């Protein structure tokens, strides 16, 4: 009888665990949908960028205004006011990027592609947050990265959105010919205003080599602020 009762309890525990995981996956899917439905192009914001490539440090402050004739404006570069030439070069670069986006050639962040929802597993669950692990299939990093990346997300219960995503590699991989990445750590953080889920910070740290002899040692940090909704 004791053995039978133990088997029943184990079966119930397994059932409860399975039901809980299904429920959690549904929450994550709804959070992904919320992110997808956010009209990010209707928000103005300021972005501060910092980049360190093998000791070559650059920084900028840029402003995006969706209803302006020039949507992107360079406010500061390397701690200084930009020159007229720098402003024109920057505007030309942004216009080119904008055209690529319209043609579908620019890579946008897709949580549905980034997070393999079938692989989600629970790490922790408390009053405020759900933390889950998942497999990563980030096409931007090439086919060789498949199976060599893993991720973790933090779901904020009160506002029901994904607040943070962390991705790192568990093995060396090659995103392109002659390039090898030995260390990669990427972190996305988000904030929610009303029902819109918007970028708060994007950080990347990467080490490796290119063409066998060139060292890759890069850190970048983009911080977003001053969000205002600009309805058409």
For 89-113, what is the mean pLDDT?
Answer: 71
150 close to 142: Cβ distance less than 8 angstroms: no
What distances in angstroms separate CA 19 from CA 27, 39, 135, one per listed residue?
13, 33, 21
Position 179 pLDDT exceeds 70:
yes
For 187-196, what is the mean pLDDT?
Answer: 96
Cα–Cα dist 101/86, whole Å: 23
* Complete edge-to-edge strand list for the sheet that includes strand 129-135: 72-77, 56-64, 43-53, 214-229, 196-210, 179-193, 161-169, 149-156, 129-135, 121-125
For the record, the structure tokens of 59 come out as 């920084």
Question: pLDDT at position 18, please?
Answer: 81
pTM value is 0.86
What is the pLDDT confidence band of residue 99, given thresholds at 50, 70 and 90?
low
Position 17 pLDDT exceeds 80:
no
- C-alpha closest to that of 49 among 84, 93, 103: 93
Position 62 pLDDT exceeds 90:
yes
Position 52 pLDDT exceeds 80:
yes
| Helix or strand holding residue 204 (H, E) | strand 196-210
Give pLDDT tens digits for 116-131.
Answer: 999 999 999 999 999 9
For 80-89, what is the mean pLDDT?
Answer: 93
Q: Which residues of 87-125 are buried (b: 16+ CB within 10 A; e: fewer)?
A: beebeeebeeeeeeeeeeeeeeeebeebbeeeebeeeee
| Helix or strand holding residue 10 (H, E) | helix 2-37
Question: pLDDT at position 140, please?
Answer: 80
**Where in the chain are the domains?**
2-229
Position 142 pLDDT exceeds 90:
no
Position 9 pLDDT exceeds 50:
no
Percent of the chain with pLDDT over 70: 88
């Amino acid at each position: 009888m004791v053995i039978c009762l133990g088997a029943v309890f184990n079966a119930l525990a397994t059932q409860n665990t399975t039901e809980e995981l299904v429920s959690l996956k549904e929450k994550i899917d709804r959070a992904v949908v919320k992110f997808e439905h956010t009209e990010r192009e209707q928000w103005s914001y300021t972005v501060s960028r910092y980049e360190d490539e093998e000791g070559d440090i650059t920084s900028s402050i840029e402003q995006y205004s969706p209803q302006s004739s020039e949507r992107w404006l360079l406010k500061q570069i390397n701690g200084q006011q930009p020159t007229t030439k720098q402003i024109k070069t920057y505007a030309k670069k942004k216009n080119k990027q904008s055209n690529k986006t319209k043609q579908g050639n620019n890579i946008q962040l897709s949580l549905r592609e980034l997070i393999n929802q079938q692989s989600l597993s629970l790490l922790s669950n408390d009053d405020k947050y759900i933390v889950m692990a998942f497999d990563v299939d980030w096409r931007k990093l090439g086919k060789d990265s498949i199976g060599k990346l893993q991720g973790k997300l933090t779901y904020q219960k009160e506002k029901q959105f994904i607040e943070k995503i962390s991705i790192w590699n568990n093995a060396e991989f090659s995103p392109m010919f002659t390039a090898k990445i030995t260390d990669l750590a990427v972190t996305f953080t988000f904030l929610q205003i009303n029902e819109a889920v918007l970028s708060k910070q994007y950080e990347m740290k990467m080490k490796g080599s290119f063409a066998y002899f060139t060292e890759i040692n890069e850190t970048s940090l983009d911080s977003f602020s001053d969000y205002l909704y600009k309805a058409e």
